[in-house]
Amino acid sequence: MPFEAMRRRIATGDPSVSCAGAKGCGEDPPEANLRGTSGRKKHAPADTIKQHVHAGLTKDSAPYIIKIKQISRHTVLHIMKNLFIFTNTSAQSKDAARNIKKELEACGFTVSDTFLPETEMILVIGGDGAFLKALEHCGYPSRPFLGINTGHLGFFQELSPYDLDSIIAMCRDGKYVIQPYRLLEAVIQSGEASSRSYALNDFCLRDCGASVVRLKIEVGNNFVETLYGDGLVVASSAGSTAYNYSLRGAIVDPRLEALQLTAMAPINNLVYRSFTSSLLFPPSLDIKVSLEKKDNLNIGIFADGKKIHSGDFDTMQVSLSKRIVNIVRGSDYDFWSKVESKLL
């Protein structure tokens, strides 16, 4: 629905819409505005429910993003105004954070240096490493993450600090699309103790010394191989362009949900037989890894580059989680164009 039409409906007291919390609007709660004179709830049209309305409601109101949400088929207007900026420790990133925060606050947004329950968008300033740290720091929420690149590659980042107008437009006008990614989930069992971890890119298991590891690989409860080598990486489609790609794994379009297992320096001779190419598995299967012989205290398990386990273990089971993180992309975003510009 065009904004002017929405403004007219609000001004005339149309009960199918509400602007609770917006400046210049009535104080009735959203639920009250969903009731007609009979007291019965009215349902907004399906096309109205899914649209976004962007602009201030009055001349003096801040230009917040107004989203129309569907809750039990009832329309509620929600003002998006709370942002959190996560940055790495570089001077360039900190300078960029100060400038961006100043501009956003001038536009009426509340910008925090702390992730809060009311945070509605996370701006990450740094490189891909900072982006992965921000996901973990915030607990992998479903709220959108906008990457602003001050690092090197910046595969997850969409903008640079010099794109202030675009950053403000994305936050104020909602001129972006959301790219959802399913997380990887790993459960590590060691005796009676177990731990659960998440990662966006990959889980890596390797020997931190100079020994060959011998790993039993099962997929969907079926034995696949015993891997002899330096270790392995289990990557998501999002992580196919990260460590997995350095190991000559396949690049997978993120629109395809898959698990990819790539060996690190696999041994393949008359004595030891290991797959030398990556293996791709559908999202419905999980990958179980166990040590053929538990005698190596130098084993390390890493989630997106962060060590989460050291020493022997019984099993590590990796699957695609039901949890999703949402990354902000420009309306003209294309994965393969980014691959060409960043990797070729």
Q: Are 329 and 141 in contact (CB under 8 A)?
A: no
Query: Which stretches within the chain are classed as H helix?
Result: 3-11, 46-49, 91-106, 128-138, 164-173, 243-246, 335-343
Helix axes 164-173, 91-106, angle to 10 degrees: 50
Is residue 267 classed as helix, strand or coil in its secondary structure? coil
60, 95, 128, 286: the active-site residue: 128
Residue written as token pair 């993003």:
65
The contacts of residue 56 (CB under 8 Å, 6+ apart) are: 23, 62, 63, 64
DSSP 121-136: EEEEEE-HHHHHHHHH
Q: Does the annotation count 113 as an active-site position?
A: no
Active site residues: 128
